[in-house]
């Protein structure tokens, strides 16, 4: 069986992880680092941890020569730090607060936890190298860790807004993307999203119509004159016509010119963020609000 790399990566993305910044210093003592979420513990005695480093990353040759490195588990308020070390910025450490650890590896200030390591073993594994470190020093603080799943950072702060909306008897809708496009329901004058009183009812109704769908993360929470509405991102593999819905290609969403301005704006934003693979959550009403960014994949 041939495994499609893109599909494989997407499937792996369903497993929630934390976010780390892995750091070291090069032969000249210059600090180097990158963002990674393939991190796990290996052994308690001795204390060993493992991080997977892509061979195509600019810092990979440095880590192959270094005898020390640190893994910094980021806090929920360190999304900018994650984005910084995932970028190609040449002066990452000039833009982040850090200090030198016991081994000489850089430690990122504000991390939930950090592990200062000497290199225990390197294992060649396909297009990655498994870097196993023996912990020489460590630390932690009380804070929420930063999470990552399905191409977006995940946290807990925005769930309160969703709960408040539910308390006002909100309707639940979903932007369900299929290979044919986003599923929209034809209505007089245009389209609407599949909608129900809650997620379970929405998925149940789609299933009865032949669509096996799933919902992922919040996309919008907003008030309308008819009540609050919660909109999720979702996916389905079934053909759109099975549900009496239409699959509208993502690129065509901004061209629909729907009479419902709030829905049109939402679909346009979805198309833009889908193209960039960087989603946010809209909090507000049908006239005004703000988009709180989640992540760039």
pLDDT (tens digit per residue) in 143-198: 888 888 877 777 645 555 555 555 556 788 889 998 888 999 888 888 888 888 88
In this prediction the pTM is 0.57
CATH hierarchy code of domain 157-293: 3.90.79.10
Among 151-165, 174-188, 248-262, 268-282, the minimum mean pLDDT is found in 151-165
Tens-place pLDDT, residues 42-89 = 999 999 999 999 999 999 999 999 999 999 999 988 999 999 999 888
pLDDT at 120 (0 to 100): 96
Domain with CATH 3.90.79.10 in the chain: 157-293
Sort 48 into a burial class: Cβ within 10 Å, 0-12 / 13-18 / 19+: middle
pLDDT at 253 (0 to 100): 92
Domain with CATH 2.30.110.10 in the chain: 5-149
What percentage of the chain exceeds 70 in pLDDT? 86
Better-scored residue on pLDDT, 32 or 199: 32
Place domain 5-149 in its CATH homologous superfamily: Electron Transport, Fmn-binding Protein; Chain A (2.30.110.10)
């Amino acid at each position: 069986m041939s495994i499609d790399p893109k599909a494989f990566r997407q499937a792996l993305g369903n497993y929630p992880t934390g976010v780390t910044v892995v750091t070291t210093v090069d032969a000249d003592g210059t600090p180097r680092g990158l963002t990674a979420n393939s991190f796990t513990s290996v052994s308690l005695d001795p204390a060993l941890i493992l991080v997977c480093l892509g061979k195509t990353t600019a810092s990979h040759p440095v880590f192959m020569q270094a005898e020390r490195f640190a893994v910094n588990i980021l806090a929920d308020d360190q999304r900018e730090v994650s984005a910084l070390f995932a970028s190609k910025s040449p002066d990452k450490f000039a833009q982040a607060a850090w200090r030198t650890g016991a081994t000489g590896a850089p430690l990122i200030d504000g991390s939930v936890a950090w592990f200062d390591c000497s290199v225990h073993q390197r294992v060649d594994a396909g297009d990655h190298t498994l870097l196993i470190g023996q912990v020489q020093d460590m630390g932690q603080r009380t804070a929420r860790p930063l999470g990552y799943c399905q191409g977006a950072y995940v946290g807990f702060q925005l769930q309160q807004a969703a709960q408040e909306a539910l308390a006002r008897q909100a309707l639940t809708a979903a932007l369900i993307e299929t290979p044919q496009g986003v599923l929209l329901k034809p209505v007089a004058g245009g389209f609407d999203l599949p909608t129900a009183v809650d997620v379970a009812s929405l998925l149940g109704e789609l299933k009865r119509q032949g669509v096996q769908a799933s919902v992922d993360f919040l996309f919008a929470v907003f008030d309308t004159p008819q009540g609050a509405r919660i909109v999720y991102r979702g996916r389905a593999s079934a053909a759109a016509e099975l549900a009496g819905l239409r699959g509208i290609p993502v690129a065509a969403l901004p061209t629909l010119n729907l009479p419902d301005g709030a829905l049109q704006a939402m679909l346009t934003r979805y198309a833009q963020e889908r193209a960039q693979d960087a989603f946010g959550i809209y909090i507000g009403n049908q006239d005004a609000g703000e988009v709180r960014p989640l992540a760039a994949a």
